[in-house]
Amino acid sequence: MIKTGAEILIECLKNEGVDIVFGYPGGQVIPLYDKLYDSDLRHILVRHEQGAAHAADGYARVTGKVGVCIATSGPGATNLVTGIATAYMDSIPIVAITGQVKSHLLGKDSFQEADIVGITMPIVKHSYIVKDIKELAATVKEAFYIARTGRPGPVIIDVPSDIQLSSIEYSPLTEIKVKGYCYDDNFINGNVDEMLDLIGKAQRPIIAAGGGIIASGAHNELLEFAEKLNIPVVTTLMAVGAFDTDHPLCLGMLGMHGTRYANYAVCQCDLFIAIGMRFDDRVTGDPGQFAKDAKKIQIDIDDAEIGKIVPVDMGIVGDAAKILGEALKRLSCNPVNSDRRDWINRVRELREEYPLKFEESGTLKPQYVIKRIYELTEGKAIITTDVGEHQMWAAQYNKSKIQRSFLTSGGLGTMGYGFPAAIGAQAAFPGKTVICISGDGSFQMNSQELMTAVRYNLPVIIAIVNNGYLGMVRQWQELLYNERYSETDIKEQPDFVKLAEAYGAVGMRVTKKEEVDDCILKAINLRKTILIDFVVDRFENVYPFVPAGSTLDNMIGG
Amino acid sequence: MKHILSVLVNDTPGVVTRVSALFSKRNYNIKSFVGCETHIPGTSTLIIVVYGDDEIIEQITKQLRKLIDVIEVSDITQKKHVSRELVLIRVKADTKVRSEIIQIVDIFRANIVDFQNSSLMIEATGDEDKIDALVEALKSFEILEIVKTGEISMVRKNV
């Protein structure tokens, strides 16, 4: 059948199982939007393209599918960049479709022309500019295949508007072959027996679970592996929810704002088993001193991650669930030593000695707000966060135990991520409770998306932990820069309640501890877009705190 | 340590940018970078010379392999190989020194490819040492201009 480029694009998206796209029209994607108008593909109109990229990312994180966003050429495309970089750093599969000026205008600094493929090259897994309509269908298929397989990541497809308008005979592709890229689900490169041997010999092993556990869906394998071998588990920020925090083997988050007991345990272990985590500097502190008495095993789907930051004694390349599954299979016929009474006792002592704590009396504490959100939702809500102090408190006090229910910008640390990501998550699961825990600074980076949430009746709850500061920077200034609070006091705020109301959302304000529960419960039950402005203690800091580049046992506070 | 990477890539627009951008993004220095078509339609070979310790080179190699358009990466430094550079040198050469320069050119089995009243253009191919030695020898005269290609290399093997 003869179809236009725009029609082919939509057909191809549907063939890939896409049900929702997030986007914003503009001159060079009108042909695509014109065909969307007639299609049954659900389009969610954001109010800024950055919101579209983050929403697609949020959708991808909760569903495990590829998120899709659409923007026009030039400024539309460049507005996606922060969202694409965020997805790249956290290995989230998204496909970004950008309109481009007509082929014959390319390279002439035409109106709204930007070389988006060139601009995004360092922050995508791969990118395409489609210069021939014959390549369009194969390009879309390749893009989705590349985005979702192996180490997932963002892929961009730039489509000149004349390609969207031109026509060709189209029949759906069933197979593609990408020369130079081939992903095999079952590929394992490394010696699983040798790993089990090392674990059997270890007295004080520890597992560090990263975002790869979630990407691979290795939740159950990890639990069984840890239980069978009796190994305590620490998680990175990206793996919050990947291992039940209430489990006796769980030590919570490690790193800069990790628990004292997680960091001490890492410093004392003799075998460090990294699974799907990439030794980010926020996790390791000084990499030269990281778990320095321990042998290290690293499991990762990306060969280039093995030993990139911290040298390891052995690496296994492959999918985490497959590798752990393989290990469990071998353990059932050939068990190794799993008696670690002393180590488990030691870890339990550490946990009892250095619990996460905060002062509950006096003014409203941000930690209390997050703790109550967690308790009142029974840990079942999908939580998204922005970036800053509230993000770390959320990671500490929201003890998620469900995979894909804690969405946060880990690698890039993108303020403004949380709210549009919550919109993406809520669009994917309209019936679930989705709460964006944000800061007064972060929220203002994408507050315009209130209109999007209201227009589509998405009952996202925005919980602003409002301290009138760019709190994380303020905290560094207090502790490391002699209390010189350069440009971090943002006491002059919009009235967030009125702001919400201006967009047709519900606004509420909480200033006292006694009001917290009622307000959260009311928000959960109302099923509307709701913003709650929690006015909290201005000077509360996130503890514990490992200063950047220091060693993990050198913690301040907590 | 010097490493020579031979990288087979899909000959798609932007592939050189992707590869070179990877080097600048990761803060690795490139000494030379040469790209050309191969006998296989749709593919190119890039010969990239970089300096770094084994860990850095391993990381570069792995990052290169991750690029979708990269088909194959091999570090041929330790294999038996032939390396060549091409250089063009313009030297000031009046009648007094001309014969002396021609002698040097002969010794290096180089060629004179342009002859003017007061200058000569010399063309030479060879490995890095030979080219450096020729340039050194001509330094006692007045070198007016040098243009040099990067290094290309091929493994010696019996196929």
Interface test with A, best of B68, B69, B70, B71 (most A CBs within 10 A): B68
| CA proximity to A497, closest of A530, A454, A448, A471 | A530
Distance CA A420, CA A450 (A): 9
Asked whether residue A273 is domain-assigned, the answer is yes
CATH of the domain at B140: 3.30.70.1150
From chain A, pick out residues whose CB is under 8 angstroms from the CB of B13. 129
Is the domain of A247 the same as that of A343?
yes
CATH of the domain at A195: 3.40.50.1220
- Who's near A191: CB < 8 A, 6+ residues apart? A314, A316
Roughly what angle, to the nearest 10 degrees, separates helices A136-148 and A5-15? Answer: 30
Nearest-neighbour CA in chain B from A122: distance (Å): 7
Count of domains for chain A: 3
From chain B, pick out residues whose CB is under 8 angstroms from the CB of A302. 66
Final residue of a domain: which of B53, B75, B97? B75
Count of domains for chain B: 2
Q: CA neighbours within 13 Å on the CB side: how many for A485?
A: 13
Is the domain of B92 the same as that of B113?
yes
Q: Which two tokens stand for residue A441?
A: 């600074």
Is the domain of A74 the same as that of A152?
yes
The predicted-structure confidence for B12-41, as pLDDT tens digits, reads as follows 989 999 999 999 888 888 999 999 999 999
**A117 vs B14: CB contact, 8 Å cut-off?**
yes
| CA proximity to A388, closest of A461, A469, A482 | A469
**CB distance B10 to A180 below 8 Å:** yes
Is the domain of A302 the same as that of A447?
no
Is the domain of B68 the same as that of B110?
no
Q: What is the phi-psi region of residue A438: left when phi exceeds 0, alpha when psi lies from -120 to 50, beta otherwise?
A: beta
**CB distance A237 to A282 below 8 Å:** yes
Q: Which two tokens stand for residue A165?
A: 């308008």
Interface test with B, best of A131, A156, A181, A183 (most B CBs within 10 A): A181
Is the domain of A336 the same as that of A449?
no
Which DSSP string do the residues of B71-134 spell out, in sequence order? EEEEE-TTS-EEEEEEEEEEEE--HHHHHHHHHHHHHTT-EEEEE-SSEEEEEEEE-HHHHHHH
Distance CA A148, CA A95 (A): 10
Is the domain of A263 the same as that of A372?
no
CATH of the domain at A476: 3.40.50.970
- Who's near B76: CB < 8 A, 6+ residues apart? B4, B5, B6, B153, B155
- Three-state SS annotation for A158-202: EEEHHHHHCEEECCCCCCCCCCCCCCCCCCEECCHHHHHHHHHHC
CATH of the domain at B11: 3.30.70.260
Asked whether residue A180 is domain-assigned, the answer is no
Asked whether residue A183 is domain-assigned, the answer is no
Q: Looking at residue A535, what is its pLDDT?
A: 98
Distance CA A288, CA A310 (A): 7
Residue B55, SS3? helix
Q: Looking at residue A342, what is its pLDDT?
A: 96
Is the domain of A160 the same as that of A18?
yes
Final residue of a domain: which of A141, A169, A197? A169
Q: Which two tokens stand for residue B134?
A: 């020729």
From chain B, pick out residues whose CB is under 8 angstroms from the CB of A122. 21-22, 25
From chain B, pick out residues whose CB is under 8 angstroms from the CB of A121. 14, 17-18, 21
Is the domain of A223 the same as that of A342?
yes
- What are the pLDDT tens digits along chain A (558 aa)? 999 999 999 999 999 999 999 999 999 999 999 999 999 999 999 999 999 999 999 999 999 999 999 999 999 999 999 999 999 999 999 999 999 999 999 999 999 999 999 999 999 999 999 999 999 999 999 999 999 999 999 999 999 999 999 999 999 888 888 877 888 889 999 999 999 999 999 999 999 999 999 999 999 999 999 999 999 999 999 999 999 999 999 999 999 999 999 999 999 999 999 999 999 999 999 999 999 999 999 999 999 999 999 999 999 999 999 999 999 999 999 999 889 999 999 999 999 999 999 998 889 999 999 999 999 999 999 999 999 999 999 999 998 889 999 999 999 999 999 999 999 999 999 999 999 999 999 999 999 999 999 999 999 999 999 999 999 999 999 999 999 999 999 999 999 999 999 999 999 999 999 999 999 999 999 999 999 999 999 999 999 999 989 999 999 987
The predicted-structure confidence for B105-131, as pLDDT tens digits, reads as follows 999 999 999 999 999 999 999 999 999
Distance CA A314, CA A298 (A): 6
Q: Report whether pLDDT(B61) > 80.
A: yes
**CB distance A261 to A227 below 8 Å:** no
Is the domain of A299 the same as that of A421?
no
Is the domain of B37 the same as that of B96?
no
**C-alpha to C-alpha distances, A432 to A215, A220, A423, A458, nearest whole angstrom:** 21, 23, 12, 10
Q: Looking at residue A177, what is its pLDDT?
A: 82
In the block, which residue shows the tokens 């030691």?
A: A346
Is the domain of B90 the same as that of B137?
yes
Question: Which residue of chain B has the CA closest to A131?
Answer: B13
In the block, which residue shows the tokens 């986007």?
A: A23
Provide the domain limits for residue B10.
2-75
Looking at chain B, the whole-number percentage of residues with pLDDT higher than 70 is: 100
**CB distance A403 to A397 below 8 Å:** no
How many angstroms separate the first and last alpha carbons of chain A?
Answer: 66
Distance CA A409, CA A417 (A): 7
From chain A, pick out residues whose CB is under 8 angstroms from the CB of B71. 179-180
Is the domain of A283 the same as that of A424?
no
**C-alpha to C-alpha distances, A36 to A19, A23, A55, A85, A188, nearest whole angstrom:** 12, 11, 19, 27, 42
Asked whether residue A217 is domain-assigned, the answer is yes
Asked whether residue A544 is domain-assigned, the answer is no
Nearest-neighbour CA in chain A from B78: distance (Å): 22
Roughly what angle, to the nearest 10 degrees, separates helices A260-268 and A341-353? Answer: 150
CA-derived radius of gyration, chain B: 19
Using a CB–CB cutoff of 8 Å, tell me whether B15 touches chain A. Answer: no
Final residue of a domain: which of B75, B105, B120? B75
Is the domain of A496 the same as that of A419?
yes
- Who's near A516: CB < 8 A, 6+ residues apart? A364, A368, A369, A372, A510, A534
User: What number is the ipTM of this complex?
Assistant: 0.90
Question: Which residue of chain A has the CA closest to B12?
Answer: A128
Alpha helices in A168-308 (DSSP H): 192-201, 211-216, 219-229, 260-268, 281-284
CB atoms within 10 A of CB A2: 8
Is the domain of A412 the same as that of A502?
yes
Provide the domain limits for residue A503.
366-535
Amino acid at A54: H
Asked whether residue A542 is domain-assigned, the answer is no
Is the domain of B47 the same as that of B88?
no
Is the domain of B10 the same as that of B35?
yes
Q: Looking at residue B99, what is its pLDDT?
A: 94
**A307 vs B55: CB contact, 8 Å cut-off?**
yes
Asked whether residue A454 is domain-assigned, the answer is yes
